Structure 1
Amino acid sequence: MTLKAPRTLIAALALTAVTAPAFAQEVNVYSSRHYDSDDALFNEFTDRTGITVNRIEAKADELIARIDAEGDNSPADVLLTVDVGRVGRADEAGILQSFSSDVINDRVPPHLRDPDGKWIGVSQRARMIFYAKDRVDTPPKSYEELAQPEWKGKVCIRSSSNIYNQSLLASIIEAHGEDTATEWAAGVVENMARPPQGGDTDQLRGIVSGECDVAVSNHYYYLRGYEKDVDGLTEGLDNIGFVWPNQSGRGAHVNLSTAAKAAHSPNSDEADKLLEFLTTEFAQQHFAGQNNEYPAVSGVPLHERTARLGIFIPDTTTNTAVFGTNAKAAQTIFNNVGWN
Structure 2
Amino acid sequence: MTHTARLALALLASVTLTGMAAPAFAQSGEVNIYSYREQSLLQPLLDRFTAESGVKVNVLYAGDGLLERVAAEGELSPADVVLTVDIGNLVGAEEQGLTQKITTPVLDERVPAAFRDDDDNWTALSLRARVFFVSKERVDATALTYDDIAKPEWKGRVCTRPGDHAYNIGLIAQRIAATGLDATRTWLTAVRDNLAYPPSGNDREGVKNILAGTCDLSISNTYYMGVMLNNDAEPEQKEWANSARIVYPDAETDGTQVNVAGGFIAKYAPNVENANALIAFLLSDEAQSIYADTNYEFPVVPSVSPSELTLSWGTLKPASTPLSEIAAHRAEAAALVDELKFNEGAQN
Residue aligning to 1:255: 259
Amino acid at match of 1:173: I
Q: Pick closer, same or farther for the CA change 1:334–1:140 going to 2, 3 Å.
A: farther
Residue aligning to 2:80: 77
The answer to whether the aligner puts 1:188 opposite 2:186 as a matched pair is no
Cα RMSD after superposing both structures:
1.7
Q: What CA deviation, in whole Å up to 9, does each residue of 1:195-249 have, x standing for no partner?
A: 1111100011111001101111101112223223445542244432321111222
Q: CA deviation at 1:153?
A: 1.1
Q: Match for 1:150 among 136, 150, 153? A: 153
Q: What CA deviation, in whole Å up to 9, does each residue of 1:77-99 have, x standing for no partner?
A: 11101211222222232211222
Q: Match for 2:306 among 302, 306, 310? A: 302
Amino acid at match of 2:28: A
Q: Match for 1:287 among 291, 294, 305? A: 291
What TM-score results when the alignment is normalised by the length of structure 2? 0.86
What TM-score results when the alignment is normalised by the length of structure 1? 0.88
Q: Match for 1:164 among 145, 163, 167? A: 167
Q: CA deviation at 1:40?
A: 2.6
1:208, 1:233 within 8 Å by CA — same for their partners in 2?
no
1:193, 1:211 within 8 Å by CA — same for their partners in 2?
yes
Paired residues, what number? 316
Measure, in 1, the Cα distance between the counterparts of 2:143 and 2:198: 20
Residue aligning to 1:173: 176
Q: CA deviation at 1:73?
A: 1.2
Amino acid at match of 1:134: E
Residue aligning to 2:205: 202
Measure, in 2, the Cα distance between the counterparts of 1:205 and 1:38: 27
Q: Pick closer, same or farther for the CA change 1:190–1:232 going to 2, 3 Å.
A: farther
1:205, 1:232 within 8 Å by CA — same for their partners in 2?
no
Residue aligning to 1:278: 282
Q: Could you tell which deviates more after superposition, 228-237 or 268-277?
A: 228-237
Measure, in 1, the Cα distance between the counterparts of 2:129 and 2:239: 23
* Paired residue secondary structure (2:193): helix
Q: Could you tell which deviates more after superposition, 45-54 or 225-234?
A: 225-234
Q: CA deviation at 1:137?
A: 3.0
Matches within 5 A, 1:72-151: 72-138=75-141, 141-151=144-154
List alignment gaps of at least 5 residues for structure 1.
1-22
* Paired residue secondary structure (1:146): helix
Q: Pick closer, same or farther for the CA change 1:50–1:313 going to 2, 3 Å.
A: same
Measure, in 1, the Cα distance between the counterparts of 2:331 and 2:101: 23
* Paired residue secondary structure (1:216): strand
1:99, 1:118 within 8 Å by CA — same for their partners in 2?
yes
Residue aligning to 1:12: none
Q: Match for 2:326 among 312, 323, 327? A: 323
Q: Match for 2:49 among 45, 51, 58? A: 45
Residue aligning to 1:11: none
Residue aligning to 1:67: 70
Measure, in 2, the Cα distance between the counterparts of 1:167 and 1:132: 24
Larger radius of gyration: 1
Amino acid at match of 1:121: A
The answer to whether the aligner puts 1:56 opposite 2:71 as a matched pair is no
1:123, 1:287 within 8 Å by CA — same for their partners in 2?
yes
Q: Pick closer, same or farther for the CA change 1:236–1:103 going to 2, 3 Å.
A: closer
